[in-house]
Structure 1
Amino acid sequence: MPLETTLKLRKENNLNYQGLLSLIEASENTLSILIAVCDDRNLRDKIIEDCEKELLPNIASYHARLDQNEPSLRAAIYKIVPSEEFKKNEKYTLLNITGAEDLFFIRNNGEKSQQEKFFGYLQWTREGLREFPYPIVLWVTNQILVNLSRKAPDFWSWRKGVFHFIPEASLTPVLPPDNRIISDDYLKEDDSHSLSLEDLEELISNTENKRGKNDPNLVTLYNRLGDVYFNRIKSGVAVSFPDEKENALHCYYQALDISREVVDRYGEGNSLQNLGIIYNYLAKYQEAIKYNQQSLAIFKEIGDGHGEACSYKNLGNAYYFLGQYEQAREYYQQSLAITREIGDRKVEATSYNNLGSVY
């Protein structure tokens, strides 16, 4: 289900929030390293607060900060684990670790910087974390993320997922000091940040075994697995196009069935939209139109402007490929009007480009 709290998240953030929740709930009694990326401390703290509330009463959440002088993840966890409160807890446990945002990358008198120490500890901490059978959410900034895979590759290889959260207009952002921000490399899309096909299949299997085949988290997990198969097809790395096409469709239909069973309207709209997109790619334009019209109706109903704009855009694409340019132009214009209203620059730019193709 989408986040229903005092903070209304934009679609990208809400998708990542749902993915984070799904992996936390699917990682019971298992070491699961989850990396959450957020430059805005206000947004980060609000997400942690809402996440902890949503997981109650089944999951107990604990929070620790890295020490700036000795920024060891394992040491930060040890601040929590020996506590009497932790020992008495009989619930499934989640650990949130913050403090990385305060680590400097500038060296002092030739000594290693705080970030260099942090990456050094991470690189050699993997085996030491085995004694903690819990999901661990490590909160980092984009600047730290850029260097994480390069400077702590062993730790990076253990990640179960990376979740990006971008500043929200409804909050006053509190960003890291300028001397900790370097490049814009993190803005480039990187598929390595996604869960692997094998990880997703394992999480789905674990969730189905522990919580049943209609667990709400499966809506997000099946949609993500469908995305993995679809991306393999589009990028040309699919081992078998017919098999992976059927796998992608199966995953989207599974997500759709479960979303309807648990009455998750947002998940239903997202699943329908995914089906519309893949059918458009497969040149089955009438199917694409059918599913995008259904997703449009749901996003209108629940007031999701981003989803509505994307559905209009996808309908425009289907009619464009059918050669019905007037109808396509009408949908592109509706998409553009909504993206302007909600400030969605990415879809707005796509809508402008699409409109240019039908004039």
Structure 2
Amino acid sequence: MTLPFSPSRTNEEAYEELISLIENSQGRLAPIIVACDDWALRQQVIDRYEAEARQANILPYRVELGREPSVRAALAKLKETNAALQQGRPAVFTITGADTLLRVTLKPEDEQSELDKFFGYLQWTREGLREFRYPIVLWVSHRILKEISRRAPDFWSWRKAVLRFQAETNAIVNEGITVSGGTFNAEQLAVGEGRSPHAIQPNEPRDDFLPPLEELQAEIQRLESTAPDSPNLATLHDQLGRVYADRVTTGKAADLDQERQAAIASFQTAIDHYQQLDRKSAQAAALNRLGNFLYSQSRFRDAIDFYQQSLAIQCEIGDRQGEAASLGGLGSAYYSLGQYPQAIDFHQQSLAIDREIGDRRGEAVTLFNLAFALAKLDQHWEGVQRLNQAKQLYTALKLDHKVEKCDAAIYDFNRIIAAKPRPVPPKLHEEPPVPDWWEKSLPTSTQPKLRRSQQQVPLWVYFLMGLAIALLIAWLL
């Protein structure tokens, strides 16, 4: 078969083992754990083995884990509605979504996070899965793979196999959905402005000053040689990451791939320094900025991971504005992955916090993003309402360019609403159908009906009256 991509030798060997397991594990339960952090490569591998499975008359099915991430429940629901599975035809199940589950609880009444629930279901699922005598391919990140053996040891003990795919950078960078609303720019990298990347407009003024690249590099080099334990290194690496990110996203980078990796490395170094210094607020902000940058490079699932780490710290330290920013980032990432109900949920949580703390600008950004997520579920009228609310806030903030953006979106939404077919209103009083024989017996005249006093007397009445008069005269004679 012609490959749609050129995998490395290691990845090709992993793939060959995977397709062999799928073909040779029919008729028995075979959980196969596959670790891959490269979202684009993952999609290509899944498409490839599903195509080969079809050629071997093996039916491929995909299951995306939801907010109640039970593998057994998801498979049972699929089997209940599928005749081919009920007949026992060969099949392979692909389970995804584990790496998008939240690691933190968002509501006080939640005892476990989504990821905690996932590991709990996985640990006690052996008996429940025995009826599924198929290969089950569970895709996870390498980070989750390391946790499975510790948090779901029973499942780990009876797994069929564990396979690992190495990331292929070119596939990551070139795949994904283009960020709507323009290019990603420096404002998104500012603390508190990192939410919802697809709503930020290009050519925004910066809210803070960043030193030139050469000055930052020179200062970092000086401190690392003279004072390697200086707390200022964390801030300098953070600023360096922001400068590289700005150069990449605005097209100023001399070497795109090199500066892209430099931005990620600088942010990660800053995050590590902040963690060592126990500067939780700065660490959370840097995690959010790294998530924003990865989002701008269409690495949405990687962005989700950093948004979640940021959110966990924000919840711990009680930074409500930071929570709103991380939730907004999660909403945008899920939007770009096409998971619109989850996007709406995160944007609504972000909106509630914005209103609670009185962040009018954050509220406007969230309303704008929420409108587009609603539109994806064909709720354009609700979207228009959110856009009007965002427009009012931007007007009060005197952000005319944002008002224009809202006006353009409202115009587009209204055009879509106007183009939709209008439903025929139901009749309030439905008349019973008229029998066919009755319609045929009705006169075809269009003249208005006469009242009873105006109606003509039938001829036979005159005949009887005349006959009666004649008989009366004869009797009298």
Work out which of the two has the higher radius of gyration on C-alpha atoms and give 1 or 2. 2
- Normalising TM by the smaller chain, what interval? 0.3 to 0.5
Q: Tell me which of the two structures has the higher relative contact order, counting C-alpha pairs closer than 8 angstroms and 6 or more residues apart.
A: 1
